[in-house]
Amino acid sequence: MHGFTQDPAGECDCGKCLEDAVSRRRFLGSAAGAAALVAGVSFSGTAGAQSTMAPDDALDAMMEGNRRFTEGRLQSLNEDLSILKAKTAEKQEPFAAVLSCADSRVPVEFVFDQSIGQLFVVRVAGNIATPEIIASLEYGIAVLGARLLMVLGHSNCGAVKATIEGKAVPGQIGVLYTPIWPAVNEAGDNLDAAIDANARMQATLIGRSSTVVSAAVKEGKLKVVAARYDIASGVVSLLG
């Protein structure tokens, strides 16, 4: 049995654990470690699972799932959860990554009728592409093998609305304004137009600032799309 003192990372302070932790950090800090992570290779040396779906098929699967959602024909809830959990306990191979708003009316898996392990969802108010968000999406794409990256804005988005109004807000909420401002600057005070512009701009920003995303797109392994979710109808529309 190892020692009792746990550090915040969950490692105890016995010699064995400290040694493991140091070698793990060395691996992560090395070029080989970084390359192995990008290639989807786990620490044990086994290849990570990757979706074999083509990017266009991944988009079709999402849009078909949204049709089932709007027509009240959800299938994902009928799937056997115990089998799904058993299949995903040791690995995940989501076929799509989604950047959506944190809004409680945008339940991403429901909206696309997908179940456990199928979507890699990153949520933040205003679906903005900050460095941590881009890093998370890169993980979903480079390591887990997602074939589609969708930036999903939604109707009546409070974050975009607040940016248009520019009112004083408590705490740190105002930091959300800065990344949304370019879309408001382009679209003016029309909320729907600003929401669409924001989704498009965040998708473009990810493509430009992430070498992982741009390389995957160039190799035909990834498709990046911007879309809008209508919270009244449940319909997702792709933005050209």
Q: Report residue 63 CA to chain centroid gap.
A: 17
Q: How far is the CB of 68 from Zn ion (least distance, A)?
A: 24
Cβ proximity to Zn ion: between 159 and 184 the closer is 159
> What number of chain residues touch Zn ion (CB under 5 A)?
4
Judged by CB under 5 A, which stretch of 13-21, 97-105, 179-187, 210-218 contacts Zn ion? 97-105
Cβ proximity to Zn ion: between 141 and 159 the closer is 159
Q: What's the N-to-C CA distance of the chain in angstroms? A: 58
Q: How far is the CB of 103 from Zn ion (least distance, A)?
A: 4
Residue 103 interacts with Zn ion (CB under 5 A)? yes
Q: Which of 99, 141, 143, 157 binds Zn ion (CB under 5 A)?
A: 157
Tokens of 204: 């473009």
Cβ proximity to Zn ion: between 180 and 224 the closer is 180
Q: How far is the CB of 104 from Zn ion (least distance, A)?
A: 10
Residue 59 interacts with Zn ion (CB under 5 A)? no
119: phi then psi, degrees, rounded to nearest 5? -120, 140
Residue 101 interacts with Zn ion (CB under 5 A)? yes
Could you give the CA distance from residue 111 to residue 109 in angstroms, rounded to a whole number?
6
**Which of 149, 143, 125 has its CA nearest to residue 198?**
125
Q: CA-based angle 164:169:173, to the nearest 5?
A: 85
Residue 148 interacts with Zn ion (CB under 5 A)? no
The residue count for the chain? 240
Could you give the CA distance from residue 82 to residue 11 in angstroms, rounded to a whole number?
30
Tokens of 120: 């890699």
Cβ proximity to Zn ion: between 142 and 162 the closer is 162
Could you give the CA distance from residue 21 to residue 117 in angstroms, rounded to a whole number?
28
Judged by CB under 5 A, which stretch of 14-22, 151-159, 193-201, 214-222 contacts Zn ion? 151-159
Q: What b/e string do you get for 141-152 counting C-beta neighbours within 10 Å, with b at 16 or more?
A: bbbbbbbbbbbb
Helices and strands counted in the chain (H then E): 10, 5
Cβ proximity to Zn ion: between 58 and 157 the closer is 157
Could you give the CA distance from residue 121 to residue 149 in angstroms, rounded to a whole number?
10
Cβ proximity to Zn ion: between 84 and 191 the closer is 191
Cβ proximity to Zn ion: between 95 and 229 the closer is 229
Q: How far is the CB of 154 from Zn ion (least distance, A)?
A: 6
Q: How far is the CB of 161 from Zn ion (least distance, A)?
A: 8
Residue 227 interacts with Zn ion (CB under 5 A)? no
The residues binding Zn ion (CB under 5 A) are: 101, 103, 157, 159
